[in-house]
C-alpha cells in the first residue's frame, strides 16, 4: 500500500490509469512459473515515453521501485514485485509506430506482442522472426534477451534489436542505436539494455530488424532410433549446413503428450521437427541434403509437409507442447528448465539430464531448440506435494551446473529474474560483480526492478 503523498502524486500523473484494485494487483502477482511474489502496491498504465519518464522521476522522489510488465509470460519471475513497488504495465503502449520496408526496420512500442506485430506485417512481405513460443510482448522479449525456435537461423533478440528508447532511473530518457545497420560509435548501449530485465531502465520504444518472408518453406518430421541418433543428426546438420530455420528436438514423452493433445499420430520415438526457408531451387538442395543426413542417422518416417496447412498443424503442435505436457498430468505444475550448451556437448548434456530425471521420481519430458544447443525439461510436480517441487528444483540446479561444466550457460533464453540468481556467480565469477557495478552506476537507489539479475539483492 502506497502511503500518501506518493499515491496522490501518482494519481496526479496518470489519473485513473493507476490501479490499486485487489483484482488488478493480484493479476500482476501471477507468473507462468512456480515463482511467485507478493502483489505490487499499484499498477500503472502509461501511454507515452514522457509518462514513463514522469513515473521514473516520481519513483526517485518517493523511493518506490518500478517493475516493467509486458505480457506476463516470463518464466523466471522477472515481472514480479518482490518487495512492493509499482508495476508499469505496457498494455496501452502496444502500437506499431512506423514501418520502413526499404530499411527492413519497424519501430514499435514495448507492449505489442510478436503475433500482433507479425499480423501488422503480413502484407509487407516482411516478418519479425524471433519466436519464443509464448505470445510475449516485444519489450519483454528484448528485456529478457529471448529467442526460441528460429534463433538458429535468424538470431535472438540480441541480433534483432537495432535501437531502443529507454527511461532511466530518475527519469532521464536515452535513445540507443540508429537506423543504420551497424555502428562503431562507442559502447553498445542497445546490447547493454537487451537482456537487462528492467534493472537498468524501462524500454519504451524498440527499433527491430525485419526479415523477408521466405519464398518457400519446407517442414519435415523425422523419427530416430534413439535420442543420441537424433542429437547427432542435429550436430551433423549444423556442421555441414545447410542451416535450417528451425530444428527442434522432442523426446518420446513429449511426442506422446503432443499426440494426445494435438491429435497427431507421430511414432513414439525421439523426433526432429525441421524447417528450411529459402528460394525454391536452393530449398530443394537443402531438403535432399538433410534427407540424406537423417537417413545416415537411422531416421524413419521422414515426412515433408509442403502444404501450409500441414506445416501449420505441426508447428501448432510444437508450440502447444508445453500445454500438452501440462495436460498429460492433470493438476500438475511445471518447473521449466532452460540450459544451453556448446553443440559438441549436446548429446552428453541431454543424455545425462534424461538419466538424472529418470532416477528422480518425477516426469520431465525434454524438448528444445537444439540447433543452438538449447533445451528444456518440463519437470512436472504435484502442487500438493512440496517434496516434488524440491526434487524439481534440485534437478534444475544440477542441469545448470552440468551446463556450466560442459562450457554452457545457466539460461539460454529465459533469463535470470530471481529464479536463476543463485547460479550467476558460478557462471560469471567476477563478471557478476561488474554487472553489479554497472547497475549501481545507472540506478544508484536500486529502484529499477530490484531483486533481479545483479548481486547483493535481498
CB of 103 to its own copies, least distance (A): 4
Q: How far is the CB of 424 from its own copies (least distance, A)?
A: 6
* Residue 159 or 351 with smaller CB distance to its own copies: 159
Kindly give the residue spans of alpha helices, DSSP state H, lying in 161-279.
Answer: 189-193, 227-240, 252-262
Question: Which listed residue (85, 170, 278, 419) binds its own copies by CB under 8 A?
Answer: 278
Per rule CB under 8 A, count of chain residues that contact its own copies: 87
Which parts of 326-365 interact with its own copies (CB under 8 A)?
338, 340-344
Contact 68, 85 (CB under 8 A): no
> Cα–Cα distance between 73 and 79 in angstroms, integer?
9
> Which uninterrupted H or E stretch holds 163?
strand 161-167
Q: How far is the CB of 86 from its own copies (least distance, A)?
A: 23
Give min distance, CB of 94 to its own copies, in A.
Answer: 23
Distances (CA, A) of 122 to 63, 87, 100: 44, 32, 14
Toward its own copies, which CB reaches closer, 262 or 339?
339
Residue 383 CB, nearest approach to its own copies (Å): 27
Site string for its own copies, 369-388 (x = CB under 8 A): ---xxx--------------
Asked if residue 256 binds its own copies (CB under 8 A), the reply is no
- Is the preceding peptide bond at 279 cis, omega within 30 degrees of 0? no
Identify whether the C-beta of residue 2 lies closer than 8 Å to the C-beta of residue 64: yes
CA 313 to chain CA centroid, Å, is 22
Could you tell me the smallest distance in angstroms from the CB atom of residue 205 to its own copies? 14
How many residues would you count in the chain? 458
395-424 residues near its own copies, rule: CB under 8 A: 403-404, 407-416, 420, 424
Q: Which of 92, 120, 252, 427 binds its own copies (CB under 8 A)?
A: 427
Of 12, 50, 268, 434, which one interacts with its own copies (CB under 8 A)? 434
The nearest distance, CB 7 to its own copies, in angstroms, is 29
CA 365 to chain centre: 19
Stretch touching its own copies by CB under 8 A, among 3-11, 45-53, 278-286, 352-360: 278-286
* In contact, 102 and 43? CB cutoff 8 Å: no
The interface with its own copies within residues 196-255 (CB under 8 A) comprises 196, 200, 212, 235, 239, 241-242
H-run or E-run covering 12? helix 6-14
Nearest to 75 by CA among 398, 430, 309, 413: 413
Position among 13, 192, 216, 264 found at the interface with its own copies (CB under 8 A): 192
- Residue 62 or residue 211: which is nearer to its own copies going by CB? 211
**Nearest approach, Cβ of residue 312 and its own copies (Å):** 24
- Residue 432 in contact with its own copies, rule: CB under 8 A: yes
Measured from the CB atom, the residue of 103 and 401 that comes closer to its own copies is: 103
Whether the CB-CB separation of 354 and 228 falls below 8 Å is answered with no
Please pick, from the candidates 1, 23, 281, 292, the single residue that binds its own copies as defined by CB under 8 A. 281
DSSP tag of 88:
E
Residue with smaller CB distance to its own copies, 20 or 217:
217
Site residues for its own copies, 162-191, by CB under 8 A, read: 168, 172-176, 178-189, 191
Taking each helix axis from N to C end, the angle separating 421-428 and 386-405, rounded to the nearest 10 degrees, works out to 10
User: What is the nearest approach in angstroms of its own copies to the Cβ of residue 242?
Assistant: 7
Q: Which has the closest alpha carbon to 79: 419, 434, 437? A: 419
- Measured from the CB of residue 100, what is the shortest distance to its own copies in angstroms? 7
Decide if residue 4 touches its own copies (CB under 8 A): no
Look at residues 397, 339, 327 and name the one whose alpha carbon lies nearest to residue 363: 327
Q: In the complex, what is the shortest distance from the CB of residue 237 to its own copies, in angstroms, rounded to a whole number?
A: 12
Report the residue from 102, 123, 263, 458 that binds its own copies according to the rule CB under 8 A. Answer: 102
Cell numbers describing residue 264: 497427431
Q: Which of 396, 257, 403 is nearest to 318 (CA)?
A: 257
Which residue, among 72, 73, 69, has the nearest Cα to 55 in the 3D structure?
A: 69
DSSP 339: E
SS3 category, 206: strand
Site for its own copies in 34-93 (CB under 8 A): none
* Closer residue to its own copies in complex, CB, 21/179: 179
Rounded to the nearest whole angstrom, what is the least distance from the CB of residue 285 to its own copies in the complex? 5
- The residue among 285, 292, 152, 153 whose CA lies nearest residue 222 is 292
What mask of x and - would describe binding to its own copies in positions 146 to 165, judged by CB under 8 A? xx---x----x-xx------
E-assigned strands of 280-424?
Answer: 300-305, 333-336, 339-340, 366-369, 374-381
CB-nearer residue toward its own copies: 30 or 344 = 344
Amino acid at each position: 500500500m502506497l502511503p500518501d503523498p506518493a499515491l496522490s502524486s501518482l494519481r496526479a500523473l496518470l489519473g485513473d490509469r493507476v490501479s490499486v484494485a485487489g483484482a488488478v494487483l493480484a493479476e500482476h502477482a501471477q507468473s507462468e512459473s512456480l515463482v511467485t511474489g507478493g502483489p505490487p502496491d499499484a499498477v500503472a498504465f502509461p501511454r507515452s515515453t514522457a509518462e514513463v519518464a514522469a513515473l521514473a522521476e516520481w519513483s526517485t522522489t518517493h523511493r518506490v521501485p518500478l517493475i516493467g510488465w509486458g505480457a506476463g509470460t516470463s518464466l523466471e519471475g522477472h515481472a514480479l514485485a518482490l518487495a512492493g513497488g509499482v508495476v508499469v504495465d505496457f498494455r496501452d503502449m502496444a502500437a506499431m509506430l512506423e514501418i520502413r520496408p526499404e530499411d527492413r526496420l519497424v519501430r514499435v512500442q514495448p507492449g505489442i506482442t510478436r503475433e500482433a506485430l507479425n499480423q501488422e506485417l503480413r502484407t509487407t512481405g516482411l516478418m519479425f522472426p524471433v519466436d519464443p513460443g509464448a505470445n510475449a510482448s516485444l519489450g519483454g522479449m528484448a528485456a529478457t534477451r529471448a529467442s526460441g525456435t528460429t534463433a538458429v537461423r535468424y538470431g535472438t533478440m540480441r541480433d534483432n534489436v537495432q535501437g531502443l528508447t529507454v527511461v532511466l532511473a530518475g527519469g532521464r530518457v536515452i535513445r540507443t542505436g540508429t537506423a543504420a545497420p551497424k555502428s562503431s560509435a562507442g559502447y553498445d548501449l542497445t546490447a547493454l539494455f537487451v537482456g537487462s530485465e528492467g534493472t537498468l531502465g524501462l524500454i519504451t520504444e524498440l527499433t527491430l530488424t525485419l526479415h523477408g518472408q521466405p519464398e518457400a518453406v519446407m517442414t519435415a518430421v523425422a523419427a530416430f532410433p534413439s535420442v543420441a541418433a537424433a542429437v547427432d543428426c542435429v550436430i551433423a546438420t549444423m556442421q555441414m549446413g545447410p542451416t535450417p530455420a528451425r530444428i527442434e528436438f522432442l523426446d518420446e514423452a513429449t511426442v506422446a503428450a503432443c499426440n494426445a493433445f494435438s491429435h497427431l499420430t507421430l511414432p513414439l520415438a525421439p523426433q526432429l521437427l525441421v524447417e528450411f526457408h529459402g528460394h525454391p531451387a536452393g530449398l530443394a538442395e537443402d531438403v535432399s541434403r538433410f534427407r540424406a543426413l537423417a537417413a545416415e542417422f537411422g531416421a524413419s518416417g521422414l515426412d515433408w509437409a509442403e502444404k501450409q496447412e500441414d506445416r501449420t498443424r505441426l508447428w501448432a503442435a510444437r508450440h502447444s507442447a508445453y500445454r500438452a505436457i501440462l495436460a498429460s498430468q492433470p493438476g500438475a505444475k511445471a518447473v521449466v528448465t532452460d540450459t544451453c550448451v556448446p553443440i559438441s556437448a549436446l548429446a552428453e548434456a541431454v543424455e545425462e539430464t534424461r538419466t538424472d530425471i529418470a532416477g528422480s521420481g518425477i516426469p520431465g519430458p525434454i524438448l528444445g531448440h537444439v540447433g543452438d544447443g538449447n533445451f528444456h525439461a518440463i519437470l512436472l510436480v504435484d502442487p500438493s506435494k512440496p517434496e516434488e517441487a524440491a526434487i524439481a528444483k534440485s534437478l534444475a540446479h544440477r542441469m545448470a551446473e552440468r551446463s556450466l561444466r560442459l562450457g554452457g550457460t545457466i539460461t539460454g533464453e529465459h533469463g535470470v529474474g530471481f529464479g536463476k540468481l543463485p547460479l550467476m556467480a558460478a557462471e560469471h565469477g567476477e563478471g557478476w560483480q561488474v554487472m553489479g557495478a554497472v547497475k549501481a552506476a545507472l540506478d544508484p537507489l536500486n529502484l529499477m526492478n530490484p531483486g533481479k539479475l545483479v548481486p547483493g539483492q535481498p
